[in-house]
Amino acid sequence: MHNLTSIANPWVAELPVYEPGRPIEEVARELELGDVAGIIKLASNENALGPSPKAVKAMTAAAGSMHRYPDGSAFYLRRGLAARLGVEPDEVILGNGSNELIELLAHAFLSPGAGVVVADRAFVVYRLVATAFCARTVSVPMQDLTHDLEAMAAAIDEGVRLVFVSNPNNPTGTMVEAEALDRFMEHLPGHAVAVIDEAYIEMVDPARRPDTLRYVREQRNVFVLRTFSKAYGLAGLRLGYAVGPAEGITLLHKVRQPFNANAMAQAAALAALEDTDHVQKTCALVRDGLACLGNAFDRMGLDYVPSAANFMLVRVGEGRKVFEQLMRRGVIVRPMEAYGLPEYVRVTVGTAPENERLVDALEDVVRP
């Protein structure tokens, strides 16, 4: 006998709940597959190598201090990140995952009716957050499953405050090139802010990485989002960061919770930053895995989208059905209807044996 939905903000009531990748334990429970050990998860673009061993060591050492609140200003981590990125510490802010930073940007820049420009197949969280703030989502069609920055620039009307560019984009794995981004930034009007989400940038060939931190040094209206969830293998800790002009970072500090970056995460991230070896191994694993999956899909006659990150969109026919059939074989991938891509599933690059399991299961499922 509740009327909560009718008295809630209508724009919240109409929101779908975000559908994350299915956790291994949940799938085991539901399908009564018994042992979780037989199930592999290639559904959330996690790091197949696991966390940085240096981060694990730092967390173990930090465990005994967990009765203390975190350093709310995250002094050491912001200083470490700033030094590594060639910016100032007051140009960096941490978040409970980079997802929280998307929300902080909304707190700072969106009011009901404000415009948010996104690509139609970009990371879905941008539009969910926009809707939660009663903003107006301006959805711009992609070209060849790639952000069309010219069309996005043309879609920026006077009410637009935020423009999201996911680079590489999840779930398509595609990238915009540096020249296109430069041109886009040149023409960005003063009332709009570009948010460049680089969740996977550490895995991208350095020659292909646009120098987005230069926009920060040039004091443009820009925030660059990064995360410890992917290349650093720390998705469970929830830690991301934004780099932007100090004035903009100060705005985000005003709307964050006092201790939004937890102490365990800060300790782990400081150590992970030094673990270049782990990031390099991750990149090599991803490069080899992408090649291996690409070859297998070619052999099976399946279309796929060449990817710059640690996942791939592959066209399997009925995506939801294939997702379910793979799950019954103990392989969790991600269906893509939420992105208007019902014929595809998105698969995360795993270890070599995991990739092999995926290919075997897929061959079993899509064989006519």
Ligand X SMILES: *Cc1c(COP(=O)(O)O)cnc(C)c1O
Nearer to ligand X by Cβ, of 101 and 365: the residue is: 101
Shortest distance, CB of residue 203 to ligand X, whole angstroms?
11
CA distance 304 to 172: 10
Stretch that binds ligand X, among 113-121, 172-180, 225-233, 295-303 (CB under 6 A): 225-233
User: Contacting ligand X (CB under 6 A), which of 240, 245, 248, 335?
Assistant: 240
Q: Would you count residue 97 as binding ligand X (CB under 6 A)? A: yes
Tokens of 172: 């398509």
Q: Is 124 in the site for ligand X (CB under 6 A)?
A: no
- On whether the CB atoms of residues 27 and 33 are closer than 8 A, the answer is yes
Kindly report the backbone phi and psi dihedral angles of residue 106, in degrees, each rounded to the nearest multiple of 5, phi listed first. -65, -45
Instruction: Tell me the closest approach of the beta carbon of residue 37 to ligand X, in angstroms.
Output: 25
**Which segment (94-102, 186-194, 201-209, 244-252) binds ligand X by CB under 6 A?**
94-102
Q: Judging by DSSP bridges, how do beta strands 115-119 and 304-305 pair with one another? A: unpaired
Given the rule CB under 6 A, which of 92-100, 129-137, 186-194, 248-256 is the region that contacts ligand X?
92-100
The tokens 């061993």 sit on which residue? 53
Give the residue among 252, 246, 60, 200 at the shortest CA–CA distance from 261. 252
**Does residue 167 touch ligand X according to CB under 6 A?**
no
Instruction: Report the residue closest to ligand X, judged by CB.
Output: 97
Instruction: Rule CB under 6 A: say whether 103 interacts with ligand X.
Output: no
Radius of gyration of the chain (CA): 21
HSE-CB at 117 with a 13 A cutoff on CA atoms is 29
Task: Give residue for tokens 């879905």.
Answer: 124
Residues binding ligand X: number (CB under 6 A): 14
Close Cβ partners of 99 (under 8 Å, ≥ 6 residues apart): 125, 240
Given the complex with ligand X, which of 177 and 298 has the nearer CB atom?
A: 177
Smallest separation, CB 198 to ligand X (Å): 8
- CA dihedral sign of residues 227, 52, 201, 80: positive
Verify binding: residue 310, ligand X, rule CB under 6 A. no
**Applying CB under 6 A, which part among 74-82, 91-99, 185-193, 341-349 lies near ligand X?**
91-99
SS3 178: helix
Distance of closest approach, residue 99 Cβ to ligand X, in angstroms? 3
166 binds ligand X (CB under 6 A): yes
DSSP notation for 206-235: GGG---THHHHHTT-SEEEEEESSSTT--G
Distance, in Å, from the CA atom of 308 to the CA atom of 305, rounded to the nearest integer, reads 10
CB of 168 to ligand X, least distance (A): 8
Binding segment for ligand X (CB under 6 A), chosen from 137-145, 174-182, 212-220, 229-237, is 229-237
Q: Is 51 in the site for ligand X (CB under 6 A)?
A: no
- Closer residue to ligand X in complex, CB, 221/229: 229
- Alpha carbons 238 and 260: distance in angstroms, whole number: 10
In the complex, the smallest distance separating the C-beta of residue 126 from ligand X, rounded to whole angstroms, is 9
Residue 249, amino acid: I
Footprint of ligand X (CB under 6 A) = 45, 97-99, 123, 166, 170, 197, 199, 227, 229-230, 235, 240
